[in-house]
Structure 1
Amino acid sequence: MSRFPRQPFPAFTAVFLLVACLAALASALYAQYGLGMRPCVLCVAERFPFAVAALLAALALGTARMVATRRALMWLAAVTLGLNALIAFYHVGVEQFWWESAVCAASAPPQTVADQTFDLADAMSRPIEDAPCDQPAWSFHGMTMASLNIAYSSLLALLVVLSLRRRR
């Protein structure tokens, strides 16, 4: 018998996960519609696990008296975020030319500096399928949004797992 009594799963973890997932979705939508960055197919695919994890966290909040159900929902959210880290890793591999994408188009030949003009209306009118997966829309010292997503999703999944393990 454990010397620590079994504690009910705290709602804080579910609230934290819900807010973190919604923040990730909001930042992706702001980058797309506010900053005019065109997402590729893999960028859009990386959004779905955040939506699923947010839904699972919201459902966990709704199951206040069912501790086992709340824990199961949070475990599923952690697995979903782990899968998102794997999708993001695949995306980084495509961006770094480690492998070719099975779901995205390859990039067009490079343009000259004189040809590179940005028109927000033109960027928003093109379908998502036109955005190549091997050219990141944003990069800072080699860090792309997909590589940041690996760290973010992994960290969220780890925090949820640690919270669930601590409450055993």
Structure 2
Amino acid sequence: MTQSQTRARLIALLLPLLLLAGAWGSQLIGGLAPCEMCHWQRWPHYAAVVCAAFAFIVPGRSSKVTMTAVAALLIALSGLIGVFHAGVEYHWWPGITACSTMAGGEGVSTDEMLRRILAAPVVRCDAAQWTLFGVSLAGYNAILSLGGAAVIGVLIGKAR
């Protein structure tokens, strides 16, 4: 493995881990409840962490590069979802979220289900809960994810 490929693997592992830590920290410590599209942005990062971790343990140089490249694509996918979400927040285009149902409704009374629904926080996807310099968390995810995926791609390509 070249030094560039090793750096690419490290970025592919650490970037989604740090972004997920930030998302979970803003939720659990900062009290920001994620909307549906916030959750959409997290799923590719979870998968990227798995792929990037495998890039450290799979045998063979080409397998390591492939797993790193897949992780970069997943990171970029989260960034693209972040672009879409930020566009919804800035009202550049409408969102596409649908109503969702509460899981675990079996064996629960109607009164209990209604109590749970009324107690659940209402989180709109088209209103940013937090911004810094006019950029929302979805916007920062887009910037960092797309930028990081590009850096990983350059590092992989540089080694070839």
Partner residue, 2:93: 99
1:16 positional shift:
2.8
Are residue 83 (structure 1) and residue 77 (structure 2) matched?
yes
Aligned length: 141
Higher helix fraction: Structure 1 or Structure 2?
2
- Structure 2 distance, partners of 1:68, 1:78, is 15
Partner AA of 2:9 in structure 1: A
C-alpha RMSD of matched pairs (Å): 1.9
Partner residue, 1:166: 158
- Structure 1 distance, partners of 2:98, 2:134, is 21
Equivalences for 1:44-63 in 2 at 5 Å? 44-63=39-58
Are residue 145 (structure 1) and residue 137 (structure 2) matched?
yes
Partner AA of 1:70 in structure 2: K
- Structure 2 distance, partners of 1:7, 1:47, is 30
Partner residue, 1:154: 146
User: Which runs of structure 1 show a deviation greater than 6 angstroms over 4 or more consecutive aligned residues?
Assistant: none
SS of residue paired to 1:38: coil
Partner residue, 1:26: 21
Q: Answer 1 or 2: higher relative contact order, Cα 8 Å, separation at least 6.
A: 2
Deviations, residues 84-142 of structure 1 (Å, cap 9, x unaligned): 1210111011101122111157xxxxxxxxxxxxxxxxxxx625xx2100111101231
* TM-score, L = length of structure 1: 0.77
- Structure 1 distance, partners of 2:42, 2:150, is 19
SS of residue paired to 2:95: coil
Q: 1:166 to 1:19 in 2, by over 3 A?
A: same
1:13 positional shift:
2.4
Partner residue, 2:31: 36
Partner residue, 1:120: none
* TM-score, L = length of structure 2: 0.80
- Structure 1 distance, partners of 2:5, 2:80, is 28
Q: 1:79 to 1:44 in 2, by over 3 A?
A: same
The answer to whether the 8 A contact 1:9-1:67 is kept is no
1:41 positional shift:
0.4
Partner residue, 2:127: 135
SS of residue paired to 2:125: coil
The answer to whether the 8 A contact 1:42-1:104 is kept is no
